Structure 1
Amino acid sequence: NGEIVLRGISYQEAAPHLVFMGYLQRIVDGGRVDREFALGTQRADLVIHYGKTQKEVIELKLVQAPKAVERGLRQVSEYARRLGRDKGYLILFDREATTPWEER
């Protein structure tokens, strides 16, 4: 139960990050997942490395934060550019119980 995990965590993005990282570790076969990967003076939430040169950037955001989507898109775009990639991935966590599953 996610609520049990979240009760003891003051940094509310930590639990979704950890769960998603655990998922990625299982599916990134032969590669690795770096957390808080330094890109200049900023840090990408996750960077997946596989092969000799392949890197993918992932930014994770809670939807409840004001302007989370707008900020996340700007961040992931900049991180992808710094990695020499033409795309990145923004993963949104919507923990609002009133949001229907079809809209999440």
Structure 2
Amino acid sequence: MRLLPRLTGTRPATPLRRRRDTASHRPGPYAVGHVCPRVRLTLHDGTERDYLLDGPSSCPHPWGPHAAYEPRVHLAHVLARQGYDARWLAGFADLPLPAAERIAESAARAGRT
């Protein structure tokens, strides 16, 4: 007496596929002309470029050519918004003092959290 059918050598009639998630094809919550918060800085490498102030998850195209993401700049921006001064930020995040001052200025414009 056979209790289970033999499965070796049998194939399903239709290929198994995952259903498409229609929500993933919708446009994101960002406007078409979204500009990520950024600041122009010169860090230890000596090259002046735009750096993102927020994390890459808040930008629709974080790895695009428009701005670089540096975790130390993001950290300094978060701490500056909490009230830390530029000298302390420069030492804590290992940033040049002029860069830390510009980050603190942009954080002051954005307001404290």
**TM-score, normalised via structure 1 length:** 0.28
Greater share of residues in strand? 1
Which structure has the bigger radius of gyration? Answer: 2
